[in-house]
Structure 1
Amino acid sequence: MASQTTADALKQFKAFVREHPEMVQTVREEGKSWKDVFEEWVLFGEDHEIWEDYGIDIRKGEAEETSSSQGESIQHFIEFISRMDPDNVNKHLDQINGALTNIHDIITQIMPQRSHQYISSRPAHMMPQAGQQPPTFKRD
């Protein structure tokens, strides 16, 4: 199984090198081994900026891919929306709403207890008195 994936990866790497012949010259000039280049390809993938060191302009391919991939993305999104079941979506939204309501109820139950505990844990001289005004501060 592992040898099969390695063989597939090697085929894909060879295709990558064929697409970018300028890479061959750079590897020869720098004296790198193809094993090291293959390991970098496995680690970083084809779209990493490391390939710019080998003379490959990654951004040029991205610009062409972006325009075609945006159209494909919109098409996939429309297909995804058309396959959605409105009843199923409504069911999931109701479940989420119920969960949020339960969380809100729990927080509401906990918060008054904490504020009550905070007030009762104050010393008596710090408790607000009825009709008492807050202290005023004067400027020097």
Structure 2
Amino acid sequence: MEKKKKLHPSVQKFKEFVALNPQIAKEVKSGNATWQDLFEEWYLLGEEDTRWDAYRGERKEQPVVENKKDWMSQVMGAIKNLDPDQVQGQISNLSQAISAVQSVLTQFQGKGSGGAPGQMKNSPQHPFSFRKD
């Protein structure tokens, strides 16, 4: 038997939002927007943004307390669905990127202090360079 994949909580919420606002589905069917674009806007802007007013019928404003609960449930759902290996990989990538930037900055600082670029590559890696007189 195949297991049906469970949808991410944010995708499930978006589907509920579309069900409450069927004009959004008509917009996609007419080719004026894509599901991906609408989902990203919904995810970033939220349900109560004025961007969605064109698709709403008569709807009452939800209480602020309920919106806070929705936000917290979204955050908790996202935390529950985090893959520790994936997070570790992203942290590792970020660390490598920071190291690369530091390396470039070090090279530029070396040029500014009077050293030629060729000297940095050929010189031994010692913290202090002493010359004999």
State the TM-score bracket (shorter-chain normalisation). 0.3 to 0.5
Compare the two structures and name the one with the higher helix fraction: 1
TM-score (norm 1): 0.39
State the TM-score, normalizing by the size of structure 2. 0.41
Q: Which has the higher contact order (CA 8 A, sep 6+)?
A: 2
Greater Cα radius of gyration, structure 1 or 2? 1
